[in-house]
Amino acid sequence: MKLSPLIYKKIIETSLSEDIGSRGDITSDSIIPEKKQIKAVMRARANGVISGIDVAAEVFSICDKNINIRKISSDGENVIKGQDIMIVEGNARAILLAERTSLNIISHMSGISTETKKFVEEISKTKAKICCTRKTTPTLRALEKYAVHCGGGVNHRFGLDDAVLIKDNHIAIAGSIKSAIEAAKKNAGYMTKIEVEVDNLEQLKQVINYDIDVVMLDNMSPDLLRQAVNIVNGKIITEASGGVNFANIREIALTGVDLISIGWLTHSSPILDIGLDI
């Protein structure tokens, strides 16, 4: 998996526009000579997993295409506190103009990767995989889901157009699980995967009678999850969701589910502290 510049260039440009405003960097422009050249090192200030190195580098390139950039680390790499990640050389004003946006992006993405890696390692002896959700920062979904990938997790659907996910509200409006599934299979197209959310075993017993791809086992206890996995018996992919945290992740994984989705990874992971030193 690799991020396309077509995705992140617009994000960078919007972020820079927000930071620069209408007057530019009035601090640097009033203090630093216009042609001053510097060398700066981007450095990890904590242990973690890097994600977004290309995006962070592109911020500098957009601010000044003549800035020389040397990437020392790569996405998915473990780094330790004090380790150099990237070196940039060029115009001082341009480097300082790019600094905060670049650090904001790579710190956020690396924070997600770092937390994902912790969950992945905690369940490494099981068959389960850690999965993200659509609980992402508006406009940053592609970056955040890529960061989950860099930490060893897998991606759920990217958007509403990616796959059918029939949840409780859809079932309530459709009138029944049967009506919702039949309508989806009729209208969504034969290439589209279908997942159905259930929150009890009776619903699950209904769902497995249909030709669907995934069943989401929502907010079930480990005991119920084990029973659900036995009922499914490998016929479809099982996904545990809701109330997942680091304290219970291993117990959930040991129930035999295939996927464990965690919205916290993208909406609440702390940043990885990364700085830029002249």
Per-residue pLDDT of the chain (278 residues; tens, 9 = 90+): 789 999 999 999 999 999 999 999 999 999 999 999 999 999 999 999 999 999 999 999 999 999 999 999 999 999 999 999 999 999 999 999 999 999 999 999 999 999 999 999 999 999 999 999 999 999 999 999 999 999 999 999 999 999 999 999 999 999 999 999 999 999 998 899 999 999 999 999 999 999 999 999 999 999 999 999 999 999 999 999 999 999 999 999 999 999 999 999 999 999 999 999 99
Would you say 227 and 255 are in contact if contact means Cβ atoms under 8 Å apart?
Answer: no
In the chain, which residue ranges form alpha helices assigned H by DSSP?
A: 5-20, 26-31, 53-63, 92-122, 141-150, 168-174, 177-187, 201-207, 222-232, 249-253, 264-268
Rounded to 5 degrees, φ, ψ at 9 are: -65, -40
Q: State the pLDDT at residue 123.
A: 98
Q: State the pLDDT at residue 41.
A: 98
Of 192, 177, 198, 181, the closest CA to residue 241 belongs to: 198
- Entry pTM: 0.96
Domains and CATH numbers, the chain: 5-115+270-277 (3.90.1170.20), 121-268 (3.20.20.70)
Q: Which residues are catalytic?
A: 100, 135, 167, 197, 218
Q: State the pLDDT at residue 19.
A: 97
3-state secondary structure of 120: helix
The DSSP symbol for 237 reads E
Q: State the pLDDT at residue 189.
A: 86
Residue 43 pairs in a beta bridge with 84, 275
The DSSP symbol for 154 reads B
Would you say 62 and 9 are in contact if contact means Cβ atoms under 8 Å apart?
Answer: yes
| Separation CA 170–CA 153 (nearest Å) | 28
In single-letter form, the type of residue at position 160 comes to L
Q: State the pLDDT at residue 158.
A: 93
| Separation CA 238–CA 259 (nearest Å) | 6
Of 213, 216, 215, the closest CA to residue 244 belongs to: 216
pLDDT tens sequence across 203-222: 999 999 999 999 999 999 99
* 256 token code pair: 């035999």
| Separation CA 213–CA 262 (nearest Å) | 20
Of 131, 137, 165, the closest CA to residue 149 belongs to: 131
Would you say 246 and 269 are in contact if contact means Cβ atoms under 8 Å apart?
Answer: no
131 C-beta neighbours (distance < 10 Å), count: 21
* 118 token code pair: 């912790």
